[in-house]
Amino acid sequence: MCHLSDLEIKNGSRTPKYKQVVSEINNKIEKGMLLFGEKLPSINELSENYLLSRNTVEKAYIQLKESGIVDAVKGKGYYVKNTNPISKVRVMLLFNKLSNYKKIIYDTITNELEGRADVDLFIFNAEFDLFRKLLIQNRENYHYFMVMPHFRSEDHANQLTELLSSLPKDKLIILDKKLEYFKNPFGNIYQDFKMDIYDALYENLNLIKKFQHLILVFPDGDPYPYPKEILHGFRRFCVFNNFEFEIINKVSEDFRPMKGEGVITISDDDLITLIKNMRRSTLKMGREYGIISYNDLPFKEILENGITVLTTDFEKMGHMAAEMILDKEGRDIKNPFKLIDRGSY
- 122's CB contacts (< 8 A; 6+ apart) are 92, 93, 94, 95, 134, 138
Angle subtended by helix axes 128-138 and 157-165, to nearest 10: 10
Q: Return d(Cα 311, Cα 285) in angstroms, integer.
A: 20
What is the arithmetic mean of pLDDT over 323-335? 92
The domains of the chain, with CATH numbers, are 17-80 (1.10.10.10), 89-191+314-335 (3.40.50.2300), 194-312 (3.40.50.2300)
What pLDDT score does 250 carry?
96
Around 310, how many Cα atoms within 13 Å sit in the side-chain half-sphere? 30
What pLDDT score does 160 carry?
96
pLDDT in tens, 147-184: 999 999 888 999 999 999 999 888 999 999 999 999 88
pLDDT in tens, 109-145: 999 998 778 899 999 999 999 999 999 999 888 889 9
DSSP secondary structure string for all residues of 34-81: S-TTPBPPPHHHHHHHHT--HHHHHHHHHHHHHTTSEEEETTTEEEE-
- 140's CB contacts (< 8 A; 6+ apart) are none
What pLDDT score does 12 carry?
80
The CA distances from residue 158 to 127, 133, 161, 325, in Å, are 16, 16, 5, 27
Map residue 243 onto helix, strand or coil: coil
pLDDT for residue 320 is more than 60: yes
Contact 250, 222 (CB under 8 A): no
Backbone angles phi, psi at 136, to 5 degrees: -65, -40
**Confidence band for 32, pLDDT divided at 50, 70 and 90:** confident
Q: Are strands 308-312 and 337-340 parallel, antiparallel or unpaired?
A: antiparallel
The CA distances from residue 40 to 80, 81, 88, 255, 324, in Å, are 7, 11, 20, 66, 34
Q: Return d(Cα 91, Cα 175) in angstroms, integer.
A: 14
* Selection from 2, 66, 68 nearest residue 35 by Cα: 2
Map residue 126 onto helix, strand or coil: coil
What pLDDT score does 67 carry?
77
Tell which phi-psi region holds residue 304, choosing left (phi > 0), alpha (psi between -120 and 50) or beta.
left
* Selection from 45, 101, 109 nearest residue 77 by Cα: 45
What pLDDT score does 164 carry?
95
What is the arithmetic mean of pLDDT over 78-107? 86
Length of the chain: 345
What is the arithmetic mean of pLDDT over 313-329? 93
- The strand pairing partners of 293, in sequence order, are 265, 309
Q: Exposure of 76 by Cβ count < 10 A (0-12 exposed, 13-18 middle, 19+ buried)?
A: exposed
pLDDT in tens, 255-281: 999 999 999 999 999 999 999 999 999
Map residue 158 onto helix, strand or coil: helix
